[in-house]
Structure 1
């Protein structure tokens, strides 16, 4: 069976487009997850994973450009604390040091850029500080 050259070219173009579209991720395919949902009051180390939801694999080399920690879960959004990014303990895990000044609900807000993707991964993660 012979196809004309135009039909072959069109088939190849459509196949290429389908493969390219399937491989491209949407920024919503990425999410931050707390490693632990509790931390001790005082100087705390918080580990957060960035994962590709499609594969559940960790995402390394993201650039964290926004970070904030506050007590919004306990209706005290104005109660913030200092947060500092630390070296990563393993690929896809991002570590932060924060001073949790009181026990209760805390919210860690993060913004990051994933290499090769457009848009920003934004998350608000809630955890509990205990005495």
Structure 2
């Protein structure tokens, strides 16, 4: 008698990626940063993730301690998460994000590097 063992393939946090819609953002106190959350296995956007941690700093320019606030903003596109931030200086900014996805036990973390331009 043969017994088959069924194995399920579960996604992991490494199967997801945050991508910036634009990497060059106009510098200023009301800069809008939009991210897309992608399931790398399918290439599709992931709607309804719960973003619970954000951090914006100037680590790319060697100033990790220079941070600014990040506030959620409204996005009309499923799977796109928008934020308003104060990009007070021109140069490189790192945006770190952590999210929970329904059905995924692990926290999905990501970071994107942006450039504030005049």
2-structure distance, mates of 1:113, 1:57:
17
Say which structure, 1 or 2, has more relative contact order (CA 8 Å, 6+ apart).
Answer: 2
The answer for unaligned runs of 5 or more in structure 2 is none
* Residue of structure 2 in register with 1:113 after alignment: 100
The answer for unaligned runs of 5 or more in structure 1 is none
**Deviation, structure 1 residue 78:** 1.0
Question: 1:84-95 alignment to 2 at 5 Å?
Answer: 84-95=71-82
1-structure distance, mates of 2:68, 2:103:
32
C-alpha contact (below 8 Å) 2:32/2:84 kept by paired residues: yes
Q: TM-score, normalised by structure 2?
A: 0.94
Match of 1:104 among 79, 91, 105: 91
Q: Which structure carries more strand by proportion?
A: 2
Q: Secondary structure at the match of 2:60?
A: helix
Question: 1:1-131 alignment to 2 at 5 Å?
Answer: 4=1, 7=2, 10-11=3-4, 14=5, 17-18=6-7, 21-22=8-9, 24-42=10-28, 43-131=30-118
C-alpha contact (below 8 Å) 2:27/2:87 kept by paired residues: yes
Q: TM-score, normalised by structure 1?
A: 0.85
Q: Which runs of 4+ in 1 moved over 6 A?
A: none
Larger of the two Rg values belongs to structure: 1
